[in-house]
Structure 1
Amino acid sequence: MMTNLFSVFDPSSSIFNSSVNWISTMLGMLILPSAFWLIPTRLSTTFTLINSTLHKEFKTLLGETSMKGSTFIFISVFTMIMFNNVMGLFPYIFTSSSHLAFTLTLALPLWLSFMIYGWINHTQHMFAHLVPQGTPPVLMPFMVCIETISNVIRPGTLAVRLAANMIAGHLLMTLLGNTGPSLTYSILSLLLMTQIALLMLESAVAMIQSYVFAVLSTLYSSEVN
């Protein structure tokens, strides 16, 4: 299975006959000890502020009847995706979030666990979701098919949306960067300004896409309760 359509742009690095590209996903473990300092650093204070803001928002989406601590799984997913997206903007660091092997690994288990929990514990509620309120009786069979298909493709849309957005920006930056040696100095300065603007745009996309992934996962979870 081809997990990335643009695998030719990935750096090929190997040690001991094994690829070390995916080690970049675990670089976040290096900053974990700073969270255990006696005096909080600015980094840990920033993460605490982000986590509390996300907790309040996800708690609103899940409802007051949700289990305590259920928001932290989505905060963890948001943090992991955002870290990998941002790290991929640095030179010579492998962007794991642009591969379906990474995004599907996050989306599929989340969606599958929601479906199994919903159909076992709230079967009548899940059947009611297949027919929107106010649907004419003639259209009910078609609406069941449409809602079933839209429900089944949810993990695919979550995974492909994240991977495609990360691939698109990185591919454009790579293609523009490869044209640099063949340009004159006047056009090269314009290319540098374009690359800086693209880098700022990709930084925003990296944070927005991780937020979208976490919010949609939260909404899918709230539907089964």
Structure 2
Amino acid sequence: MILFGSSMSPFVRKVLAYANEKGIKLELRAMGLGSADPDFLRASPLRKMPALMDGDYTVADSSAIVQYLEALHPDPELIPADPRQRGTVIWLEEWADTMLSGCGGKMFFNRIVSPTFLKVEGDLALADKAEHEELPQVMDYLEKLIPDSGFLVSDRLTLADIAVASPFANFQHLGLDLNRWPRAKAFADAILARPSFAAIIVGEKAFFAKIAAA
């Protein structure tokens, strides 16, 4: 199976970590913004990352991809069968994709992606507003959700944990101070330290270190 995208995207990183937890081998085909790769364009009609190609089958969007992977490889179960638990997991994935990643994306794109990769000055005012006005709201919400078990749903690892933790790698790259939210920070640090995430993030940090040294 081929996954198109860059792990710098929290959505691509989510799929990679999810597949790692399942023991599914994905070949990451790196895609930059505006890629004209024909396989990618066939797999992603909206030209957004990630997209998956499995033989002659293609599917785009991280949520659709993880549902496909779950159906192909139901063990270990990362999307609960219990109706209420499943509903909560899907809600938290949606919240992470829209609110958490949406806020983080404004900072990451304008402070890192735009000046580093596009060679264009980012909208720093928009990034600052996201950090000081949006981030506290989403983090306050998450801080209240973290149970003592350290897992968001059913006291075990689920898609919810993977989806919510994934944007925190971008927060690390941004150097954000999240100590104001100790439960949320400890939760994210623990999930990102799992083998499914750790190697991905090590590679990302090495990439940024190489750029800084150039």
The reply to whether TM is greater than 0.5 is no
* More helix as a share of residues: 1
Give TM class, smaller chain. Answer: under 0.3
* More strand as a share of residues: 2
TM-score, structure 1 as length reference: 0.25
Q: Considering only CA atoms, is the larger Rg found in Structure 1 or Structure 2?
A: 1
